[in-house]
Amino acid sequence: MTKYRLHIDGDWVDPDSGEWLDTVDPYRGEPWARIARGNSEDVSRAVAAADRAMTVGPWASMSPSERGRIMRNIGDVIAKNAQRLAEIEVRDNGKLFAEMSGQLASISACWYYYAGLADKIQGASIPAEKQNVFAFTTREPIGVVAALTAWNSPLWFVAVKCAPALAAGCAVVVKPSEFASASTLEFAGLLKEAGLPDGVFNVVTGLGPEAGAALVDHADVAKITFTGSDTTGTRIYESAARTMKRVSLELGGKSPNIVFDDADLDAAAGGVVAGIFGAAGQMCSAGSRLLVHNSIKDGFTEKLLGLARGVRLGDPMDPHTNVGPIATPPQYQKVLDYIDIAKTEGARCVLGGRPAGGPGLTGGQFVEPTILVDVTNGMRIAQEEVFGPVLSVIGFEDEEEAVRIGNGVAYGLVAGVWTQSIGRALRMSKALRVGTVWVNTYRTYSYMVPFGGVKRSGIGREQGVEAVNEYLETKSVMISTDEDAPPNNFVMR
Ligand code: NAD
């Protein structure tokens, strides 16, 4: 079994605890690697290394263009190692190789994108109304960044958090999910080849309440960027408040995929099925509530059933597989529990609803693609994030009701709208309280387009040009140009 040590200050080091955690291949149900169980001592070493790197190390004195050049090298080493990194991600989280290898191409491009931004971060000179004062702003790196990531797309999260942070001149300490840390460590191992100075990118693995909490609480961390559940996000937000850290939180969702009667129903059915059964539903953006116009509800549900019955479960490395296993045992149990809860609440299961078994599925935790009807928006199954292949079907009468139901949850991450009417698409986009609206498409991501949630889905935006602002502070400088100015006389000037 591969044994992964911590990556601190450019070195591989053993954890202070001397303890190791198994990392399990969810398809085979067997441990395949061991990761270090980091603790607060390891976190302190990593934060100190990051702090040195960005204040007195070569990263601090490097020109922004030189930093950008190194970040382009990082894009290159990712591209060169994409196949291997994608395979490691599949081993760790059970997602399809087809998806992870596609994602790796975007990850490399994302590093190039932020590399290009590194030397375009500028302040402003301000023609202030004051006489004899020259005023300007500078944009300074915010400080050491703690990046805490979820297991479902580890290197994507590293890219959308760390590339803008590095472009801003920060150094980072990453705490990947204990369920999928290997690809982040493999990535760290490539950074010397890219020319990244030691200490700029550190990885402390371990358990959330140990290594994760220690990182969040550390006095020398200035900014926390987190992707994960809203429960952990709330805890982190509370803890960050005590030390006034800046936070970005990318949390969960209960997203509506809304199908109108004027939609291209074949395209919509494909989008709905992929939007909930893709990645076995283990995506923050899962379209877990299908809102469908009452006039087409029965026919459209039949169409979905036809498509969903054809979904192939199996080995995530097999290009013919559509849906892989659920990544972790607790998550597997949670999905099955939610199906039971839904039935108790009065929902009717018209597809799936059980663990899936059979040839090729024996080692892993598979759940049948599940469709529930007779769901009302007040039920727990319509309100709470399942993070599994479970779709709830809810009817609506008109746009107003679709908006009311769509917005009628605590979350606000994404929404899908399927319609041929441009006017309706624009009205719905405006009315839905979410961070992203996808019209006649679903799960379409670009590192160039901002992504993030409102309400319980989080705070801040990742991706796009504006993400770099999450890692910068503005400093104002005001200089007197009047050499004969009287000294300050106790009155605000
Ligand atoms: P999680 O909250 O259990 O864990 C996320 C990270 O936080 C892990 O690294 C974990 O070790 C760490 N952590 C756990 N407890 C901690 C604590 N007390 N202090 C500090 N760190 C702690 O989430 P998960 O199960 O890994 O991921 C699934 C969740 O992530 C879902 O809710 C999903 O919707 C969400 N998610 C959101 C996005 C997005 O972009 N909005 C993307 C993917 C996943």
Where in the chain are the domains? 2-251+457-477, 256-439
pLDDT-derived band of residue 285, with 50, 70 and 90 as boundaries?
A: very high
Q: What percent of the chain has pLDDT over 70?
A: 99
Of the residues 284, 368, 385, 470, only one is catalytic, namely 284
Three-point CA angle 447, 226, 388, nearest 5°: 80
Assess whether the C-beta atom of 387 lies below 6 angstroms from ligand 1: yes
Taking the centre of ligand 1 as the mean of its atom positions, its distance from the CA of residue 229, in whole angstroms, is 4
Q: Computed from CA positions of residues 141, 192, 13, 327, in that sequence, does the dihedral angle turn out positive or negative?
A: positive
For residue range 170-208, what is the model confidence (pLDDT) as tens digits? Answer: 999 999 999 999 999 999 999 999 999 999 999 999 999
The residue-averaged pLDDT of 83-88 equals 97
In angstroms, rounded to a whole number, what is the distance separating the alpha carbons of residues 51 and 64?
Answer: 18
Taking the centre of ligand 1 as the mean of its atom positions, its distance from the CA of residue 252, in whole angstroms, is 9
For residue range 98-134, what is the model confidence (pLDDT) as tens digits? Answer: 999 999 999 999 999 999 999 999 999 999 998 899 9
Query: Comparing C-alpha atoms, which of 491, 467, 484, 486 is closest to residue 167?
Result: 467
Assess whether the C-beta atom of 232 lies below 6 angstroms from ligand 1: yes
Helix H or strand E encompassing 340: helix 329-345
Query: Comparing C-alpha atoms, which of 210, 237, 205 is closest to residue 224?
Result: 237
For residue range 385-403, what is the model confidence (pLDDT) as tens digits? Answer: 999 999 999 999 999 999 9
Q: Which fold has domain 256-439?
A: Aldehyde Dehydrogenase; Chain A, domain 2 (3.40.309)
Of the residues 178, 250, 368, 385, only one is catalytic, namely 250
User: What architecture is the 2-251+457-477 domain classified under in CATH?
Assistant: 3-Layer(aba) Sandwich (3.40)
Asked about 170 being catalytic, the answer comes back as: no
Separation in Å, CA 116 to CA 89, 111, 150, 210, 294 = 27, 9, 27, 36, 49
Is the per-residue pLDDT at 486 higher than 70? no
pLDDT-derived band of residue 491, with 50, 70 and 90 as boundaries?
A: confident
Is the per-residue pLDDT at 487 higher than 90? no
pLDDT at 105: 96
Separation in Å, CA 457 to CA 148, 229, 387, 393, 448 = 16, 9, 14, 22, 20
Is the per-residue pLDDT at 482 higher than 90? no
Return the biggest CA–CA distance within the chain.
88
pLDDT-derived band of residue 358, with 50, 70 and 90 as boundaries?
A: confident
Is the per-residue pLDDT at 485 higher than 80? no
pLDDT-derived band of residue 489, with 50, 70 and 90 as boundaries?
A: low
Q: Give all strands of the β-sheet with 2-4 in edge-to-edge order.
A: 2-4, 30-36, 20-25
Enter the pTM of the model.
Answer: 0.96
Residue 226 φ/ψ, nearest 5 degrees: -130, 140
